[in-house]
Amino acid sequence: MALAWRAPVDLDLYLTDPTWETVYFANTPSRTGARLLRDVRCRDVVGSKSAFVELAGMTDPLPGPYRVGVDFIDACKGSHDPVSFRVVATYGDVQRETTGTIRLEEFEPIVVEFELRQTGPDGALTLVMVPSAEWQMQEGR
Q: What is the pLDDT of residues 69-107, one digit of tens each?
A: 999 999 998 889 999 999 999 998 888 899 999 999 999
* SS3 label, residue 92: coil
- Cα(13)–Cα(9) distance, rounded to whole angstroms? 13
Q: Where are the domains of the chain?
A: 2-139
CA 125 to chain centre: 19
Residue 141 confidence class, pLDDT cut points 50, 70, 90: very low
Q: Report the CATH fold assignment for 2-139.
A: Lipoxygenase-1 (2.60.60)
Residue 116: CB atoms within 10 A of its CB come to 22
Q: What is the pLDDT of residues 11-57, one digit of tens each?
A: 999 999 999 999 999 999 999 999 999 999 999 988 888 899 999 99
Residue range 106-137, pLDDT digits in tens: 999 999 999 999 987 888 899 998 765 444 43
3-state secondary structure of 27: strand
Terminal C-alpha separation, the chain:
27
Q: Report the distance separating Cα 54 and Cα 56, nearest Å.
A: 7
pTM of the model as a whole:
0.88
